[in-house]
Structure 1
Amino acid sequence: MGSLDEPKAVKLTYLAPLLAGAVAGISVDVALYPLDTLKTRLQSSQGFQKAGGFRGVYKGLLTVATTSMPTTALFFMSYETTKKIAEPLVAPQYAPLVHSAAACVGEVLACVIRVPTEIAKQRKQTYVGSKKRSSIKILIEAYKAEGLRSGVYRGFLSTVARDLPFSFLELPVWEYLKTQVRLHNDGQITSFQSACCGSLAGGFAAAATTPLDLAKTRIMLAPEYTATRKLRVQPVLRAIYRESGLRGLFAGCTPRFTAFMAGGFVFFGVYDDCKRVVEGYLDR
């Protein structure tokens, strides 16, 4: 490739997934936010009704809407960049492993933004009281009370532990399903077909990782974070299993599965469509 084409190649590599990821992220988060609220309340240790029930299902939406764009933009830029660098280095049959590794890189970076957002969002979703608290105030209170690691970034490792397996499953399944569609469609795939693949991949990954999501929710919603509580994924899951059995580990699975089926359709459909538009514009 000549030097005159290098700026264009850089734009296609970084800018297209960056913009497409931002649009896809805010689209799915705003559209499916009530399901996420209901899922969080079902998983809350205080119980569904005490956590708010069906009231105020849009609490915390502004927090998510303003941060979903940079989070998903960072994820997809990292994912596409890692994939582009690694794919030529391995044989085609190992492509799913490349997709899994690229997804893991993207998730770890995205969690830097996602975790404080989740802290503020979930506390707003389950907060019952007449006094409203802004997301910024929630994070400031968390920082003053417990510091950066135990307050603002509480649950970082549990969030990574939840999101890495999720993306490790979802992205390779999505890419595999798209490959199968192309094989039976003369190498072509539409945004609608990509959205259907994303829906199946998202639902599968969401159901499989529900216990990890449950542990993350309990850790983030705990009223205090002390050494004696040992708020870690494994002890939390053991405690839930002792209390409620296997069914308890999958609390909130139905709304999570439904949300990610619908969310995968919107998310990947919008992403592919926007990416094509941006690439077409940049390629002029």
Structure 2
Amino acid sequence: MDRREFTASLVAGGCAGMCVDLTLFPLDTIKTRLQSQQGFYKAGGFRGIYAGVPSAAVGSFPNAAAFFVTYDSVKSLFGTSASSPMAPVTHMIAASLGEIVACLIRVPTEVVKQRTQACPTSNTYQVLLATLREEGFRGLYRGYGSTVLREIPFSLVQFPLWEYLKTLWSWQQGHTLYSWQAAVCGAFAGGVAAFVTTPLDVAKTRIMLAKAGTSTASGRIPQVLYEVWQSRGMSGLFAGSIPRMTFISVGGFIFLGAYEKVRRSML
């Protein structure tokens, strides 16, 4: 990948991330509160729906930029054509590595954001200071493992499906897709991936919101999922799946559509 392509991926990814995170923030707050241990209304209900938005605003550009720079760099490195049988494998590897890098930025902002969403009486700055005071810098990376383990399966479904749908639609109409068509493919792929990975998202949310020193805070995903299953059954494992699917489907449309539009205009 040359310098021009690198810059295009960086800027397009960052712009796409900011667009989706800030536009759909209220849905993300509702999902977090539905998944929290204290329940939706005790976590704030519909009050303070923009609690935690400064954290999302700061982290969204570098997080999405890091993902797409890694994703496009790995795709370029493998040099696999869209019609190759190895293309889905390339997209899976690229997406997985992209998520590992992006989570280094995403997790600290997500920890602060979700704790503020679940406690709307505090602001972002207060939550950040409390986390650093009580848990140190490592507290900002609470849930890194569970986030990566949620994001990799998500990307393994979303990105190969997105690339496949784009290739199929492009082949059927005989020319490259318009940005809005790539966005439609992104919305469908995102919705499917969101539903499949909701239990992992529930576990990630519980781990990030748990009090320091508790068994949940230790970050053992199977244990957290078992506790949710015991207390709330299957509905607990898929808590927040509707706002999550809505958020990620609409988000996929905006995110991947904006990415394609900005990248093409720069290239």
What TM-score range do you get, normalising by the shorter chain? over 0.9
Residues 1:29 and 2:17 aligned together: no
What is the CA–CA distance in structure 1 between the aligned matches of 2:62 and 2:218, rounded to whole Å? 32
Work out the CA distance in 1 between the residues paired with 2:86 and 2:47: 47
Aligned-residue CA RMSD (Å): 1.8
2: CA distance between counterparts of 1:12 and 1:115? Answer: 29
Question: Who is 1:109 aligned against?
Answer: 101
2:117 to 125, 129, 139: 125
On the 8 A contact 2:216/2:224 being kept in 1, the answer is no
Larger Rg: 1
| Per-residue deviation, residues 51-76 of structure 1 (Å, max 9, x unmatched) | 00011111111210121000000100
- Mapping 1:23-102, distance limit 5 Å: 23-88=15-80, 92-102=84-94
CA distance 1:34–1:90, shift in 2 (3 Å): closer
Q: Is the contact made by 1:43 and 1:217 (CA closer than 8 Å) also made in structure 2? A: yes
Q: For residues 111 and 212 of structure 1, what CA distance do their matches in structure 2 show? A: 15
Contact 1:116 1:152 in 2 (8 A): yes
Counterpart amino acid of residue 13 in structure 2 = G
Alpha-carbon offset, residue 128 of structure 1: 4.1
1:274 aligns with 262
1:1-284 aligned at under 5 Å gives the runs: 10-88=2-80, 92-129=84-121, 132-135=122-125, 137-149=126-138, 151-226=139-214, 230-279=218-267
More off after superposition, 205-214 vs 227-236: 227-236
Change (3 A) 1:171 1:228: closer
Q: Is the deviation greater in 37-46 or in 85-94?
A: 85-94
Gaps of 5+ in 1: 1-8, 280-284
1:86 deviates by 1.2
| CA distance in structure 2 between the partners assigned to 1:176 and 1:20 by the alignment | 21
> What is the alpha-carbon distance in structure 1 between the residues aligned to residue 105 and residue 236 of structure 2?
29
CA pair 52-85 structure 1, distance change in 2 beyond 3 A = same
Q: Is the 8 A contact 1:87 1:95 kept in 2?
A: no
Distance 1:128 1:275, change over 3 A: closer
CA displacement at 1:147 relative to structure 2: 2.8
Q: Shift of residue 148 of structure 1?
A: 2.9
Distance (Å, rounded) in 2 between the aligned partners of 1:93 and 1:162: 26
Superposed structure 1 runs of 4+ greater than 6 Å apart: none
Please give the alpha-carbon distance, in whole angstroms, between the structure 2 residues aligned to 1:228 and 1:125. Answer: 19
- Worse overlay, 203-212 or 58-67: 58-67
* SS at structure 2 position matched to 1:72: helix
Deviates more, 1:169-178 or 1:86-95: 86-95
How much identity, in percent, do the aligned residues show? 46
Structure 2 runs not aligned, ≥5 long: none
Kindly state the Cα deviation for residue 83 of structure 1 after the two structures are TM-superposed.
0.6
Amino acid of the structure 2 residue aligned with 1:35: L
Q: TM-score, normalised by structure 2?
A: 0.95
Specify the code of the residue in structure 2 equivalent to 1:148: F
Tell me the amino acid that sits aligned with residue 110 of structure 1. Answer: A
User: How many angstroms does 1:159 deviate by?
Assistant: 0.4
Distance 2:158 2:10 in 1: 19
TM-score scaled by length of structure 1? 0.90
